[in-house]
Amino acid sequence: MAIASPDLVSLPLAELELFARDLELIPIPTVQVVREGTGFDFLAVNRAYRLAGLGVIADRSPMLALLSSRIDAFLRSTDMRSDFDWSIGQVIDSRYYRVTLARPTPALRDRCQIAFIDLTAQVHTERSLRREMTTDSLTGLPNREGFSDMIEAVQADRSRHAVLVIDIDRFGRLNACLGGLAGDELLITVARRIKGVLRARDALARIGGDEFGILMAVDDDAEEAARLAERIQRALSAPFRLSDYEIGVECSIGIAQGDDAIEDVEELIRNAQFAVKRAKTGRHVESYQTQAFTLAREQFAMETALRRAIEERQLRLAFQPICDLSSGSIVSFEALARWRDQNGVEHDPGDFIPVAEESGLIVPLGRWAMDEAARTLRWWDDMCGGDCGMRVAVNLSAIQMQRDDIAPVVEAALIRHDLAGSRFNLELTESAIVSDPDRIAGIMHALKALGTSLAMDDFGTGYSNLAYLQKLPIDILKIDRSFVSGMLADRDKIAIVRAILSLAQALGMRTTAEGIESNELAQTLAALGCTYGQGYLYARPLEADAALSMIVAARAAATASSAS
Ligand code: C2E
Ligand code: MG
Ligand code: MG
């Protein structure tokens, strides 16, 4: 073991020279040795050595016998000195020394002195301090610090293990009701019961006020930890008798498997603590695996990256044309967010929009999308030398509508880019309306007052409360792709699409069919009376300049046909 005590690290060489002259004057146990043929002889031990009880005759000292190979190696070397930590004896009565081997002068090459600085007391003090620091005084179990040490040791061992964190539910309340003493007693009893179901190879620690940690050895079976969790819950389910009360205790348990990917002890404990939190929000007598954490961590990583992407303007909009089904001409473009991160990875909006919604980033993202869509439309107008004849459709998420004041955001974008409100089409989903119908109705009227038109996106997939359709100022129903694609081969889908179309007609709304990928489908939908179509048949979502080329070509074709 290393005994780190810098102040005692080395013996001044000058003293050793003094020793060479008079060994007896040296206050530190010292032995003098001389090289003899292929071996060496002990010349003498000093008074300090004798007084320390290390021996009287060097030749017979077992301590020196144990060091003989080191002494031999030193005498064969050309080194002037060598210091090392050394211990002797069994665990309980071990003694610890800093040993210094030194040649008195370069001239006396065949001699050396061995000095022993006794560090035993210091080591013991350090150890008991460490023990105190790593032990919980109430239960006598290792504390959080001690728990980390234990995990570190098994990780160094590379043996398979799992960490369980057990949190007593509502302990704070129990503590407050029963008083601190009874609370302490409860903790001690809980610790005892948990200990009772552990195997000898598992270790228990108290890592927080009402939190226990178990480090368990895992053989091959990943379910082992879950089974232990069950045993613990069973052990704690019997009522506890404390002074005059009988109380029931429930606990939540989180499990983290210590796999090779997790090298950091703290990370492993954190994983288990995270699992406990999840266990508490679910059925609190349940254990969770780390996958839940991995998922949350991935989401968190995506959230962090997305936040940066918004700040650093890594997002862009793609534009997908929406066509009039009867004439085939383009009437608008839907703006769809695209994100390529700094590693060149293109993320799917189906992945990052939900993360943006959950984290609240949908507010800055939505504001950016609104402004960017308006900016692009302005650019198209400018490139066409006036109104390019297109509208742009922007998606509004339900959460964005709850959290942001949308109407002023839309108005600001229109003003900044000098556009009429009629150029904007806003797509909302049914979930937005369900969340808070009255407030959303107010917002929708405000948006209508700006001149924009409103579309109900993904219609048919949400809660479809038909009562609101009639009350709200909706101009267009967008029939969800799931009903449209494959519709020709599916009677049920056709029936649904027909129903939506006749509903829209009855309410005086126009319709857009999403996900049109074939001519046949476009013709059928046109025949059924659907107003607009959107899908890969016409174009995939395009970069702004490619969309502009499409607009320019469509305008040229229209001019040519009107001229002929
Ligand atoms: P959405 O508003 O329903 O947009 C239509 C989605 O259908 C787009 O997916 C589009 O690429 C895809 N699509 C269009 N035609 C076809 C087709 O013929 N076949 C197939 N298989 N797919 C087609 P995308 O771009 O992946 O966007 C997914 C969703 O993400 C959007 O669904 C929208 O809800 C959301 N989203 C995208 N950008 C934004 C945004 O800026 N803000 C908000 N709040 N949501 C957005
Ligand atoms: Mg949409
Ligand atoms: Mg849609």
DSSP-derived secondary structure letter, 202: -
What is the maximum span of the chain, computed from C-alpha positions, in angstroms? 125
Helix (H, G, I), strand (E, B) or coil at 240: strand
**β-pair partners for 168:** 251
Residue nearest to atom 25 of ligand 1 (CA): 336
**What DSSP assignment string belongs to 499-524?**
HHHHHHHHTT-EEEE----SHHHHHH
pLDDT, mean of residues 302-330: 94
Instruction: Give the ligand with the smallest distance to the CA of 320.
Output: 1
For ligand 1, is residue 534 a contact (CB within 6 Å)?
yes
**Is residue 314 a contact partner of residue 337, using CB atoms and an 8 Å limit?**
no
pLDDT digits (tens, 9 = 90+) for 415-449: 999 999 999 999 998 888 877 788 899 999 999 99
Q: Which of 368, 395, 478 to mutate to test the pocket of ligand 1 (most atoms within 8 A of CB)?
A: 395
161 Cα: distance to centroid of ligand 2 (angstroms): 48
Residue with the larger pLDDT of the pair 552 and 2: 552
Neighbours of ion ligand 2 (CB under 5 A): 395, 427, 457
For ligand 1, is residue 512 a contact (CB within 6 Å)?
no
Nearest residue to 136 (alpha-carbon basis) of 190, 67, 175, 64: 190
**Is residue 236 a contact partner of residue 192, using CB atoms and an 8 Å limit?**
no
For ligand 1, is residue 337 a contact (CB within 6 Å)?
yes
Residue nearest to atom 7 of ligand 1 (CA): 515
**Is residue 400 a contact partner of residue 362, using CB atoms and an 8 Å limit?**
yes
For ligand 1, is residue 355 a contact (CB within 6 Å)?
no
For ligand 1, is residue 501 a contact (CB within 6 Å)?
no
Residue nearest to atom 15 of ligand 1 (CA): 535
Residue nearest to atom 23 of ligand 1 (CA): 515
For ligand 1, is residue 84 a contact (CB within 6 Å)?
no
pLDDT at 376: 98
Residue with the larger pLDDT of the pair 278 and 127: 127
The continuous run of DSSP H or E covering 417 comes out as: none
pLDDT at 1: 38
Burial class (CB in 10 A: 0-12, 13-18, 19+), 173: exposed
Amino acid 404 reads D
- Name the token pair of 462: 């949400």
Helix (H, G, I), strand (E, B) or coil at 84: strand
Instruction: Give the ligand with the smallest distance to the CA of 350.
Output: 1
**Is residue 214 a contact partner of residue 163, using CB atoms and an 8 Å limit?**
yes
Q: Please state, in angstroms and rounded to a whole number, the distance separating the CA atoms of residues 68 and 193.
A: 52
pLDDT, mean of residues 344-373: 94
**Is residue 178 a contact partner of residue 186, using CB atoms and an 8 Å limit?**
yes
pLDDT, mean of residues 138-143: 93
Residue with the larger pLDDT of the pair 313 and 221: 313
336 Cα: distance to centroid of ligand 1 (angstroms): 6
Residue 177 has pLDDT above 70, yes or no: yes
**β-pair partners for 393:** 334, 425
505 Cα: distance to centroid of ligand 1 (angstroms): 25
Residue with the larger pLDDT of the pair 53 and 298: 53
**Cα dihedral 422, 427, 432, 436 in deg (nearest 10):** 10
pLDDT, mean of residues 398-403: 90
For ligand 1, is residue 457 a contact (CB within 6 Å)?
yes
**Is residue 400 a contact partner of residue 447, using CB atoms and an 8 Å limit?**
no
Residue 356 has pLDDT above 60, yes or no: yes
Provide the edge-to-edge strand list for the sheet that holds 287-288: 203-208, 211-217, 161-168, 251-258, 287-288
pLDDT digits (tens, 9 = 90+) for 493-518: 999 999 999 999 999 999 999 999 99
Q: 544-563 and 362-384 are packed helices; what angle lies between their axes, rounded to 10 degrees? A: 40
pLDDT digits (tens, 9 = 90+) for 199-209: 988 999 999 98
Using pLDDT thresholds of 50, 70 and 90, give the confidence band for residue 8: very low
Residue 303, Cβ neighbours under 10 Å: how many? 17
pLDDT, mean of residues 227-245: 86
The total number of residues written for the chain in this structure: 564
